Amino acid sequence: MRAATAHNREQQVVEALERFNANLGEAFRQQKYERMSASAFSFFRGSNHLYWQDLYRDWHFSLFGGVTATQTWLQGDAHLHNFGAYGSHDEQVRFGLDDFDDGIIGDYQYDLWRLLTSVVLAVRESESLKPEALSDILTTLIDSYLTTLQQDTNTVADWAAMADTTDGRLQAFLIKLTEKKGRAGMLQKWTECAAGEERRFISDHPKLAPLSVVDRAALEQALVDYQATLNDQIPGHSRQHFKVKDLARRLSAGTGSLGTDRYYALVEGQGDGDHDDVILDIKAQQPPAAWWVMNPAERAEYDQMFSHEGERHALAFQAMARHPDPYVGWLMLGDQVFSVRERSPFKADYPTDKLHKPKHWRHLATAWGRILAASHLRGARALSEGGADVFAEGVLQRTLPHAEAFTDLLLNMAQAYADCVQNDYQAFCRYRAC
């Protein structure tokens, strides 16, 4: 008879997944698991809580950070597909971090490690790249991150990746989006407007469901109260023009957040007519993945910082995003708090499956590194006056004198943890097959 072991990783993974997703209904849980089973990368996207469980207290952080000066606002779930195109109130297309559900204040390395691991998983899924190309791609991203921190911090923090500030494949992607997407196309996809009537959501849309009379009334009232949470320093909205035209429940959205209560609200735009109407994405917010591994003292400090998860989400969004969404806020509905943001007319992920050559990956790796560094600088600037300079200096003082060791650690860590994710994914698939 074999003795039980405390290091049964397969059992730990399964138990952690079941525990984290216990509040989902059976149908939603199985739908989420189905999406996670598509690939190791999909599994990684849907199990951010495992990443934080594994690495939250990793001692390697102390080598190149782990101090107050290297803390900033984090995206908290930094992977390739949480970088995307989005449009602000000025209808300009930008590319950057676009999901702040797991936003948290912490050491910069949490984002950097997770992003690099996602690159490893994505490159391994690409059948057109040789394994030896991977180290160059990762090194390019690391170099880009550090090089960006060495530049004027305010200039970088004010920078955004746009068609006129990028080049190569990313620039081409943004130009194509500008030409092919826009508010008219988004409204056509989700809404209809009969002659002489106001615009409404498409009644039989497969990703939308109507609300009951009671739920509709409750959400309409919550949206009245929500307007008090808007940041008036961000241009692009007006409480005077705010008018709800229609409401619907959003179905089957996301991977990690699948099963989370979510609604769409169609509201009047600032201009005359229906051409500039806005769709608000209203999403129930849970504690970020990092919260689940905090000790009681850390949770107490967290509770002092944020009144609730809607406030935390809004603060993270406004801190890290360049040209933040003017509709970012929150509302209370029943016993849940929801984030509110505009659904971007230009919402799109970069198609990494179209990257077939090492130089294509290196080009995007340069952009990912620069965008993450700029977002971290903005996050640090939001935390305190002069915070961007303190953050950049704190990171560079701990990395540049030991740049080779820093890079080696990240290369080894990202590839080793990707190995772990792939093993966990196989364990997950075996569990689902039982």
pLDDT in tens, 283-312: 999 999 999 999 999 999 999 999 999 999
Task: Give 36's pLDDT tier (boundaries 50, 70, 90).
Answer: very high
Whether 256 has a pLDDT exceeding 60, the answer reads no
Name the E strands within 10-87.
71-74, 83-87
Cα distance between residue 109 and residue 145, in whole Å: 11
By the 8 A CB rule, do 46 and 78 touch? no
What pLDDT, in 10s, does the model give residues 41-63? 999 999 999 999 999 999 999 99
- Are the C-beta atoms of 385 and 7 separated by less than 8 Å? no
Q: C-alpha distances in angstroms, 130 versus 142, 356, 361? A: 20, 11, 12
pLDDT at 274 over 70: no
User: In terms of DSSP bridges, do strands 191-192 and 161-162 run parallel, antiparallel, or are they unpaired?
Assistant: unpaired
Per the CB < 8 A criterion, the answer to whether 293 and 20 are in contact is: no
pLDDT at residue 90 above 80? no
For a pLDDT cut of 90, what percent of the chain falls above it?
80
Q: Evaluate if residue 259 carries a pLDDT over 90.
A: no
If you average pLDDT over residues 260-275, what whole number do you get?
A: 81
Mean residue pLDDT across the chain: 92
What is the arithmetic mean of pLDDT over 178-201? 89
Q: Residue 364 has what pLDDT?
A: 98
pLDDT higher than 90, residue 430: yes
Distances (CA, A) of 322 to 11, 132, 266, 275, 387: 42, 35, 24, 25, 17
3-class SS of residue 374? helix
Selected residue with higher pLDDT from 404 and 322? 404
pLDDT, residue 109, reads 99
**The predicted structure's pLDDT at residue 272:** 60
Question: DSSP state, 67?
Answer: S
The label of the residue with tokens 């394994």 reads 131
- Tell me what pLDDT residue 260 has: 79
pLDDT computed for residue 257 by the predictor: 60
State the Cα–Cα distance between residues 318 and 325, nearest whole angstrom. Answer: 8
pLDDT exceeds 70 at position 5: no
Higher pLDDT, 401 or 196: 401
What are the residues whose beta carbons fall under 8 Å from the beta carbon of 171, sequence distance 6 or more?
Answer: 163
Distance in angstroms (rounded) separating the CA atoms of residues 378 and 393: 14
Cα separation, 217 vs 393, in Å, equals: 51
pTM of the model: 0.94
Checking if the pLDDT of 268 tops 90, the result is no
Q: Give pLDDT, residue 254.
A: 62
pLDDT of residue 242: 80
Whether residue 170 contacts residue 371, with contact meaning beta carbons closer than 8 Å, is answered with no
> Is 237 a residue whose pLDDT tops 60?
no
Closest CA to 397 of 114, 69, 61, 58: 69
Amino acid at 343: R
**Which residues contact residue 241 at a Cβ distance below 8 angstroms, ignoring those fewer than 6 apart?**
268, 269, 270
pLDDT attached to residue 1: 46
Residue-level pLDDT at 143: 99
Per-residue pLDDT of 139-168, as tens digits, reads: 999 999 999 999 999 999 999 999 999 999
Q: Distance between CA 403 and CA 400 in Å, rounded? A: 5
> Rounded mean pLDDT of 179-184?
90
Q: What are the start-end ranges of the H helices in 262-308? A: 296-305
What's the mean pLDDT in 22-34? 89
Measured on CA atoms in the order 250, 329, 339, 48, is the torsion positive or negative?
A: positive
* Pairing label, strands 278-284, 71-74: unpaired
Q: What's the pLDDT tens digit per position in 76-88?
A: 999 999 999 998 6
pLDDT surpasses 80 at 258: no
Residue 393 pLDDT > 70: yes
* DSSP letter assigned to residue 346: T
pLDDT score, position 164: 94
Residue 69 burial by CB count (10 A; 0-12/13-18/19+): exposed, middle or buried?
Answer: middle
Least confident of 202-211, 374-383, 411-420: 202-211
Higher pLDDT residue, 181 or 241? 181
Q: Which residue has the higher pLDDT, 357 or 127?
A: 357
CA distance linking residue 384 with residue 389, whole number of Å = 10
pLDDT value for 249: 95
What mean pLDDT is predicted for residues 362-382?
98
Q: How far, CA to CA in Å, does 270 sit from each of 55, 93, 182, 248?
A: 46, 19, 16, 21
Helix axes 358-383, 387-399, angle to 10 degrees: 130
176 confidence band (pLDDT: 50, 70, 90): very high
So what's the pLDDT on residue 4?
56
